[in-house]
Amino acid sequence: MGKRKSSAKPPPKKAAPKLEEQFNCPFCNSSQTVYCQMDWEMSRGTVSCVSCLESFTSNIHHLSEPIDVYHDWLDECEKQNT
């Protein structure tokens, strides 16, 4: 008679990489000084720099992340400069 195969545990799943929550300011070039606040009730995301006090507000939806609002800000800055 043959042996029963032992049930080996499956390997642990790798954790998804975490997205950044602090960003670099495009105006004063300070690193890690831009923070994002997500207001889900008002559907608004606000990024603001602690150093130069620049800020930007964008509309958000249920799939939005802080990095999305930050990139909206960068896109708007680029649009204004062209």
Global pTM reads 0.76
Q: How many domains does the chain have?
A: 1
Q: What angle do CA 18, 23, 25 make, to 5 degrees?
A: 170
Average pLDDT over residues 16-28: 87
For residue 60, being part of any structural domain is answered with: yes
Give the pairing of strands 44-49 and 55-59.
antiparallel
pLDDT band at 1 (very low <50, low <70, confident <90, very high): low
Residue 2: what pLDDT? Answer: 63
For residue 76, being part of any structural domain is answered with: yes
Q: Closest Cα partner for 47 from 61, 76, 67, 62? A: 67
Residue 63: what pLDDT? Answer: 93
Full residue range of the structural domain in which residue 46 is found: 22-81
pLDDT of 27-71, one tens digit each?
A: 999 999 999 999 999 999 999 999 999 999 999 999 999 999 999
Domain holding 66: CATH number?
Answer: 2.20.25.190
- Tell me: pLDDT of 3 over 80: no
Average pLDDT over residues 1-21: 80
